[in-house]
Structure 1
Amino acid sequence: MTKQKALVLFLITLRQIPCTVNFIICFPLLQSDHEITRDLIFRCHLRQLHAGVAQTLATLRQRYSIPQGRSCVRHVIRSCFQCRWATARPLQPKMAEDWTTPTPAFAHMGMDFAGPPFARVTKKTTTPRFVCLITSVHLELVPEMSTVDVMQALRRFMARRDRPATIQTGNFRSF
């Protein structure tokens, strides 16, 4: 048995003695990079039902003193398989081809309607928003939200910009 292991085991067994002697015997100093310390941290982590760094460290500090304790506890908790499995993030899906291939503005666009801003005191209007899925926004004012007015706004948009390849909207059934 090496000196380091013997010292750590000696300090751990000293904990059984009532704490009237001094602070060092009451809170034994454990090496942060030692194998037994890591095992002790992991067991405390399991006893606390896979608690986080702060709670595990607070529980350990009631009995032991570990230099660089927070980083040591964080390292041990990150190696816990169950905690890694429980906090795993889902894989990122591949981005749509429309978003990744270089295209001119408004080649792929979305269309939605903003609420009725007041154009005058007595008259309400709606604002269809033509949104490029990459960069830009185009706004038109429409007096009503009828099919004819929306189609005219779409024609004005296409006269100013080019005809889009795809139009996505949340109101498919509206027009």
Structure 2
Amino acid sequence: MAVLDEIRPVRAQQTGTQISSLDWDGIKVEVDDLPSLVRLDGGYLDLVKRCQEEAYSEEICRLQAGKWLQKSSSLLSLAPILGSDGLVRLGGCAGRAKLPYEVLHPPLLPAKHQFTATIVRAFHLSLKHVETDYQISFIRQHFWIPGGRELVKRIRRECEKCRRERAKPGEQIMADLHESRLEFGSPPFTRTACDLFGPIDVLLSRNRTAKRRGVLLTCLVTRAVYLEMVTTLSSDDFLLILRRFIGLYGQPRVFHTDNGTNFVGTERELFEDPEVFQFIRRKGMQWNFQPPRTPHFGGAHESLVWSAKRALYAALDEEKKFLRHPTEETLRTMLYEVAGLLNGRPLTAASEDPADLRPLTTADFLNRANTASPPHGTFDDAAGWTFEMEKADN
């Protein structure tokens, strides 16, 4: 982040507000700066103030004077308030809710300002190039950008990686959904689909690597995701993953698997092994195969494999700045984080009305909180972190 040498005072007049110019091109917000940004630490409070003063100078003058906003103001429908820190914040009628002040009244940022675009670009990189609704709903937990959807779309259009990955070939006409996708009244993962992806090179020791694969299990109804790393394609390793999955989410009633090219060489070892089918009969599960060479039959899990690989490979690119190959624990950790990222994706559209509820996510069906939030601090100083946790508990 660039350091401001001087911020000249704002000179307010009755006819308008004159603000000294600032080189916003020199202001950089990196992914590591996001925790400080959402807490408005390290000079970010002054930057947000300056950004609001350049865009909402007339509104700030009227709020400071205790006057109503003009009917032509773009912030009139948001009922803005002036916080104790001098920031223009989102208003509303939920002020008595037992939620943090920053959540009820996030600061407003102008969509056409360069500093706002810099912040959105940092969130875009932090969330691993996610879709528009996911990103706008996540940003609104910390900042409210009027008309921010178009800004997020523009940032995604300008991102070279997003343009490359969003290139699509011709699409096929979608058939009717399978009955497994339309079941209701059952717990999550009652109908589960499984698929493997990879291989991914991991570092075992110095100058020694091995290939590991990822296993994706998804609920066909709620679209929840569970990701795990498998060391080999043996039936024993697959059974251990299945047992861990059942221990966390319960036993599926129907299990669907891919029968494409990635399973042809391992089908006998994975699913025709007597131990596997003895385990299936003991648990009372029904195992269904899709026809050979029909990947479109498994579109429910194939699309999630694509989403998981896109987020995972983006995270691996960041890790390669420090290590050429990730370790097994690093890969397993990233798979868990990607699963939390996918389970936090919105299933409904993000509304522009601040009075509406946030979008529904798959984590809501699992009765879990969204785990894609940025960390609230670093673990460099263990004593300091313990002190902060004790203050939060008290």
TM-score range, shorter chain: 0.3 to 0.5
Return the TM-score normalized by structure 1.
0.40
Larger Rg: 1
Structure having greater relative contact order (Cα 8 Å, sep ≥ 6):
1
